[in-house]
């Protein structure tokens, strides 16, 4: 295992076949720099595949603050802005798929499970979990179900 920073990846140029990320870029303060690093370490023809939260309009200040405090969500991008960041980094976009509808269903199921686990913990007299996370997750699910937030999967290739 190697520890590193996605904005300064401790790997040589052009040595990796694929870079995969699942809802991690939302925590990265400089997404362009991280995508540039992914491009740098990929071999020619290498693939980047990732999912992330998306939004077409800025969140309200209270929602942005809540998602920051509870889940460390940094600046969120729209599908169009992610496409532009990928192209700016040098990638050829293979696919950009909107997953918002599917996420709405999955997130509702996860939230129900999470609530049951919190209730079980409380009945057992153990800590139910981090309250700021819980509050932010409840709001996150509502934002996805209302369409104010979404999710997307991107696939891109190093030319």
pLDDT tens, position by position, 112-131: 999 999 999 999 999 999 99
Q: What is the chain's mean pLDDT, rounded?
A: 96
- pLDDT per residue as tens digits for the range 61-84: 999 999 999 999 988 999 999 999
Residue 28 in any domain: the answer is yes
Count of domains in the chain? 1
| Per-residue confidence (pLDDT) for residue 2, from 0 to 100 | 85
Q: Which residues, in sequence order, are CB contacts of 151 under 8 Å at separation 6+?
A: 23, 51, 52, 53, 54, 98, 99, 100, 102, 103, 144
Whole-prediction pTM value? 0.93
Residue 2 in any domain: the answer is no
pLDDT over threshold 90, residue 47: yes
Once rounded to an integer, what is the mean pLDDT over residues 120-147?
Answer: 96
Residue 6 in any domain: the answer is no
| Per-residue confidence (pLDDT) for residue 1, from 0 to 100 | 82
Residue 34 in any domain: the answer is yes
The tokens for 51 are: 């999912």
- Check which CATH number belongs to the domain holding 107 and give it: 3.40.50.150
User: Cα dist. 36→61, 79, 89, 139 in Å?
Assistant: 29, 18, 5, 32
Residue 123 in any domain: the answer is yes
pLDDT over threshold 90, residue 153: yes
In terms of residue numbers, what domain contains 112? 16-158
CA distance 69 to 132: 7
Residue 11 in any domain: the answer is no
| Per-residue confidence (pLDDT) for residue 72, from 0 to 100 | 96
| Per-residue confidence (pLDDT) for residue 78, from 0 to 100 | 97
pLDDT over threshold 90, residue 35: yes
CA distance 139 to 131: 12
């Amino acid at each position: 295992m190697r520890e590193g920073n996605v904005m300064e990846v401790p790997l040589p140029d052009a040595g990796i076949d694929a870079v995969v990320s699942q809802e991690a870029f939302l925590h990265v303060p400089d997404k362009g720099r991280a995508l540039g690093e992914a491009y740098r370490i990929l071999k020619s023809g290498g693939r980047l595949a990732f999912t992330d939260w998306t939004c077409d309009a800025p969140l309200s200040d209270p929602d942005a603050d809540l998602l920051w405090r509870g889940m460390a969500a940094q600046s969120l991008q729209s599908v169009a802005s992610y496409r532009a960041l990928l192209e700016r980094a040098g990638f050829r976009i293979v696919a950009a798929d909107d997953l918002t509808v599917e996420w709405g269903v999955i997130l509702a199921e996860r939230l129900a499970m999470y609530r049951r686990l919190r209730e079980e913990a409380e009945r057992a007299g153990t800590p139910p979990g981090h309250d700021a996370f819980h509050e932010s997750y409840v709001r996150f699910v509502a934002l996805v179900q209302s369409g104010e937030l979404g999710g997307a999967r991107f696939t891109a290739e190093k030319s």
